[in-house]
Chains A and B, each alone.
Chain A
Amino acid sequence: MSVVAINTQVDAHVEEVHEHHEEQNFWRKYVFSEDHKTIAKQYMITGIFWAIIGIAMSVVFRLQLGFPGINLSWLKPVLGRWITETGTLDPNFYLALVTMHGTIMVFFVLTAGLSGTFSNFLIPLQIGARDMASGFLNMLGFWFFAVSGVIMFWSLFLHTGPAAGGWVIYPPLSALPQAHIGSEMGMTLWLASMALFIISSLLGGINYITTVINLRTRGMTFSRLPLTIWAFFITAVLGLISFPVLFSAALLLIFDRHFGTSFYLSEIYINGEALPNMGGSPILFQHLFWFLGHPEVYIVLLPALGMTSEIIATNARKPIFGYRAMIASLLGIAFLAFIVWAHHMFVTGMNPFLGSIFMFLTLIIAVPSAVKAFNYITTLWRGNIIFTPAMLFSIGLVSLFVSGGVTGIILGNSALDIQLHDTYFVVAHFHIVMGAASAFGFFAGIYHWFPKMFGRMMNDTLGQIHFWATFIGVYLIFYPMHYIGIAGFPRRYYQFTNFDFAKSYTDLNMFVSIAAIFTFAAQFIFLWNFFYSMFKGRTATLNPWRSNTLEWTTPLVPGHGNWPGEIPAVYRWPYDYSKPGAAEDFIPQTVPYSQTPESNLPHETALIAEEEELGEINLNDQFRTAH
């Protein structure tokens, strides 16, 4: 039959191709790799590197805030002239620290580090693809990120210091070098770095979207995709639409800084000089920035939520509750994410009518978010829960998401935001709901997929200790911060001693700082575990978590092309855990319904007829082998 003839031709062709396949050199294999798994690890290591720097910065400024007047001379070897003769932290550098902490954590750690690692690693493996749609663009994406990181890192060592206008870099402060030393070369490099970073994000995002749409294996319909993939896919769409707007905001700022334009500047007198700029508006920048800025927080959060769905279902041995509702809520959150940005701008002086509109839209977004939280909890109900470190972090994520989310509802109410805007109440809110929750997603993902990345197991006991120390630590840091915010303490203050209303809570600030130091220290348990296990961890089994998704059907450490032979077909959704009648408490996606008559639901029995045809289709795997 013609089918057989074609197959032999294909086989012969494959043999030829194999003979010409040379071993890649070191640079192509490990540095400029186009393999999504290697690129994922590059993002992961880079993300961890930046996380250490970003969190260390926060410890330094928490020392300043918790222990006013503390002698920081011991930091002079590292911070040089930023520690004065008397051992105090330079107020200019304090602002640089909080700015860089925000920039590094939001963009480098939680966007590139989180999405870059897990979208890259998991998308081809979980949808059943050999690699990303374009390995070349993927490689470029990482290297744009690496270069942007080098530039940002360089800016830390400038004589005038890095950017220091807050991570939001509002003009005119960020547009005028004479307004702050951080707005000199530090700001220029920040903008250059972010321009490259945005390009990197866009390259990655385009790849993720294309791959998910085009390269799913046979039988992997959208309604059989793991929620992780849904989350990564929607996150990539969010990024694709919103990052270019930040790019334009940054570009206009570059023009104002260097080419005499007045997009954001008007009627400014500074340092004895009345500037000629007229007609611009700082509010324009804020609109453009937050048009990215708000979707950005969902770009940070959604991948973590997606991974949590997977990890909770696997470790509770139950399907994720409400799969369709979870998808609908992801779509709802993504859509609404684009139309709530000005809740960051209630007291900027914009038309109050806008305030009403954005309050209304912002409070709506709480609804799909709540649905997700309830679904996670119902997934735990009547489960048989296994507390792997990944599971602990996933449960912790749900707790943080809800705890931080409810204060978002307070802040989204414009009347209440008048008092709370730019106070520590906001700081507490976003650290819990975005910072900590996504960091927990990052940890959960590493603990869960470490065996697939390295073929070894991390140590469970150390992971559990790491979790409890971090979980308790995070709550001890940020829960009290709400009180500090309610008392009116403003953000980005070097010290609080200039105001009577901010003279209280010295003990509380000290407590927060101690908790921060403690939590930072606890991360070294993870670092030890992570690097040690990479080389000396006990060898993993093929499917250590007894999970249903496709990545566990590859060899222990998958090579190029992921599956050595044909990519498996998919016959069912990924959540058949503890199915009544089934032999085991999990049924991988690759098991046809024809093989599980004892547990099939009626509508599934009807699908058996189609399964044979499924075997014949082959749109994405023409050689039926990795090569």
Chain B
Amino acid sequence: MIYFLGILTIIFLVMAIVVISKMSGVMRGVNATSENAEPVANNKLNGVMWLVALILGIVGTVWSYYAAKDGFLPEASSPHGRRTDELFWFSMALMMIAFLAVNILLFYFSWKYQYKKGNKATYYPDNLKLEIIWTAIPAAVMVVLVFTGYRAWTDIMSDAPNNALVVEIMGKQFGWMTRYGGSQDDKLGNYNYKLIDDNIQNPMGLDFSDEASFDDISHVSEMHVIKDRPVALKIRARDVLHSVFIPHMRVKMDAVPGMPTKFWFTPDKSTEEMRAELGNPNFDYEIACTEVCGRGHFSMRMRLIVEDEASFKKWQSEQQTILATVLQSKPDYIARIPENLRAKAMKYAPAAPATDSTTVQTGAVTASSASLK
């Protein structure tokens, strides 16, 4: 790489020297190209340059692909991702044919039909048949692309399967938060943006008048999903536009304040498997933001962990419920919960008040240990 840069620098320096040395000669007011065979200065040189550019261009195009492909993402870890990747490379192959054919003809004709004294150009103003042919062929190619793209798109945008794991992911300046329906009811509780309060640990605005919220858990830096089980993402944002991008899964959907969006996918390669496959024990699936959202747009990282069901359930049971965290932060919040649900809510209250902020709440109720009785 460094050698390439070196060569480029040398080329640049040479060109700079050529330019500067030509400036003085040129600025002396070169006379109009007189009766030499060139209609404009350096016509033959420029003609040859098109050929040189063509050859270098083709070499560069082919070489750069082989040099760059190691930097591509690994094979997609979701079926729809592999499908769109296949469609992408198929479409790119078609486009490369067009790209090369058109540019080759353009550069080649520029060289071949350069001015020659005594030559006369061919007066060829139109040819309807030719126009029809080269209208029809691109149109046919477009039909193929539209059809295949439409099929893929409608499949990807179809409703999530019934057995999907529902995960809510909320974007904010500058991070993500995930929320799960809890191991009791597997159902996400209602939320209301007016209830958002970072000070009492309710950043997602959970509405505790809905008892389905009681066992919800959340996380600020991780999303856990189960290998081979579809994931239905429920996506929202609480301040400005964000966008959920999971590059290895080929997932992308904007997070819009005031308009929940969704995207479902099936992760079929676990984090462990990827670590083994890539020979990188530190590999992690990542979630990034791809809609400019302010100063920290480039640093909204969340880890996605794809694991087997047992590990997932273990992780889920270890998380403190949001309700417990809220009550821990503000014990008298219990008064805000509707009377008929208060008893149930109390089961989620931390058992002992915190003596200091570092004490682990062993008594705090976790998602798995709260009973419904």
A-to-B contact residues, CB < 8 Å = 91-92, 95, 165-166, 170-173, 176, 179-180, 265-270, 272, 274, 278, 280-283, 316-325, 347-349, 352, 355-356, 359-360, 363-364, 366-367, 370-371, 373-378, 380-388, 392, 395, 398-399, 402-403, 406-407, 409-410, 413-416, 418-423, 459-462, 464-465, 468-469, 471-472, 475, 479-480, 483, 486-488, 490-496, 498-502, 504-505, 507-508, 510-511, 514-515, 518, 525, 528, 532, 536, 538, 575, 577-580, 585
Contacts and interface: CB of A to CB of B under 8 A. Distances in A.
A356 B281 CA distance: 41
Contacts of A416: 84, 87-88, 91, 149
Interface of B: 1, 4-5, 8, 12, 15, 18-19, 22-23, 26-27, 29-32, 39-43, 46-47, 49-50, 53, 57, 60-61, 64, 68, 70-73, 81, 84-85, 87-88, 91-92, 95-96, 98-99, 102-103, 105-107, 109-110, 113-116, 119-127, 130-131, 134-135, 138-139, 142, 145-146, 149-150, 152-154, 156-157, 173, 193-194, 196, 198-199, 205, 235, 238-241, 243, 245, 247-248, 250-254, 256-259, 261-262, 282-284, 286, 288-299, 301
Given A356-B150, A402-B99, A498-B299, 7 more contacts: A321-B125, A384-B113, A409-B145, A420-B88, A461-B41, A471-B53, A490-B245
B106 to A, nearest CB: 5
Given A360-B150, A416-B87, A382 B42 contact: no
Given A380-B113, A415-B153, A490-B288, A472 B53 contact: yes
Given A409-B91, A460-B41, A486-B72, A384 B291 contact: no
A486 B64 CA distance: 13
6 contacts: A170-B291, A325-B131, A387-B114, A387-B115, A413-B87, A468-B53
Contacts of A415: 84, 87, 149, 152-153, 156
Given A363-B145, A577-B121, A577-B123, A281 B258 contact: yes
A395 B102 CA distance: 12
Nearest to A349: B261
Given A269-B239, A483-B71, A318 B121 contact: yes
Given A274-B193, A282-B257, A374 B239 contact: no
B131 A322 contact: yes
Most A-side CB within 10 Å, residue of B31, B107, B130: B130
Contact of A172 (B49, B150, B257): B257
Q: Sort A-B residue pairs by CB-CB distance and give the 8 closest, nearest first.
A: A266-B258, A349-B261, A352-B157, A415-B152, A387-B46, A488-B247, A406-B95, A382-B122
Contact of B251 (A270, A418, A498, A511): A418
Contacts of A316: 113, 121
B125 A282 contact: no
A269 B238 contact: yes
B345 to A, nearest CB: 23
Given A415-B152, A460-B42, A318 B123 contact: yes
A513 B16 CA distance: 18
Nearest to A496: B298
B240 to A, nearest CB: 4
Contacts of B297: 95, 492-494
A498 B139 contact: no
A504 B157 CA distance: 31
Contacts of B241: 170, 172-173, 282
A467 B118 CA distance: 27
Nearest to A407: B95
A577 B119 CA distance: 13
Contacts of B106: 376-377, 380, 395, 398-399, 402
A585 B119 CA distance: 11
Nearest to A375: B131
Contacts of B121: 316-318, 382-384, 577-578, 585
Given A268-B258, A274-B196, A371-B134, A422 B149 contact: no
A325 B126 contact: yes
B286 A499 contact: yes
Contacts of B70: 504
Nearest to B31: A538
A461 B42 contact: yes
A399 B250 contact: no
Contacts of B114: 384-385, 387
Nearest to A401: B102
Nearest to B157: A352
A411 to B, nearest CB: 10
Contacts of B32: 538
Contacts of A575: 125
A284 B303 CA distance: 32
Contacts of B115: 384-387
Nearest to B244: A347
Contacts of A508: 68, 71
A575 B245 CA distance: 52
A170 B239 CA distance: 13
Nearest to A599: B123
Given A348-B256, A349-B256, A418-B84, A363 B91 contact: no
Given A268-B193, A501-B73, A580-B123, A399 B95 contact: no
Contacts of A325: 126, 131
Contacts of B248: 501
A226 to B, nearest CB: 14
A488 B252 CA distance: 11
Most A-side CB within 10 Å, residue of B12, B109, B301: B109
Contacts of A268: 193, 238-240, 257-258
B149 A359 contact: yes
Contacts of B98: 370, 402, 406
Contacts of A388: 40
A272 B193 CA distance: 11
A511 B5 contact: yes
Nearest to A473: B12
Contacts of A392: 46
B173 A370 contact: no
Contact of A483 (B39, B68, B298): B68
Given A266-B258, A385-B110, A460-B40, A480 B122 contact: no
Contacts of B103: 399, 402-403
A351 B244 CA distance: 17
A338 B123 CA distance: 36
Given A172-B240, A269-B205, A461-B41, A347 B253 contact: yes
A527 to B, nearest CB: 13
A528 B18 CA distance: 15
Contact of A487 (B41, B71, B240): B71
